[in-house]
Amino acid sequence: MSSQECHLLAEIDFWRDMIEREKSTVSEVALERMHKALALAERKLLMLAPERADPAAPTLAALGTSRLSSRRH
């Protein structure tokens, strides 16, 4: 696993934890920004290492399976 992959996996874990922990205490705008940051990290991981991305993740699932499979080829 490359260091970029490690950093992205750590960032994804960070945003998932942050969203879960703060969802009831921050504004909708802040929560939306957190979700966008999570989605960006997941997309970067998908582009860098498609086999490591979790297609069941809510933000990746929103991309749709056809887009996921087309990026793998």
The pLDDT score that the predictor gives to residue 21 is 96
The pLDDT score that the predictor gives to residue 26 is 96
Task: Quick: pLDDT tens for 11-68.
Answer: 999 999 999 999 999 999 999 999 999 999 999 998 888 876 666 766 655 544 334 4
Count Cβ neighbours within 10 Å for each residue of 2-16 and write b for 16 or more, e otherwise.
eeeeeebeebbeebb
Instruction: Report the alpha-carbon distance of residue 1 to residue 29 in Å, rounded.
Output: 34
| Count of beta carbons in the 10 Å neighbourhood of residue 53 | 22
pTM, two decimals, is: 0.71
The pLDDT score that the predictor gives to residue 9 is 93
Provide the residue ranges of all domains of the chain, joining segments of one domain with +: 3-72
pLDDT > 50? residue 6? yes
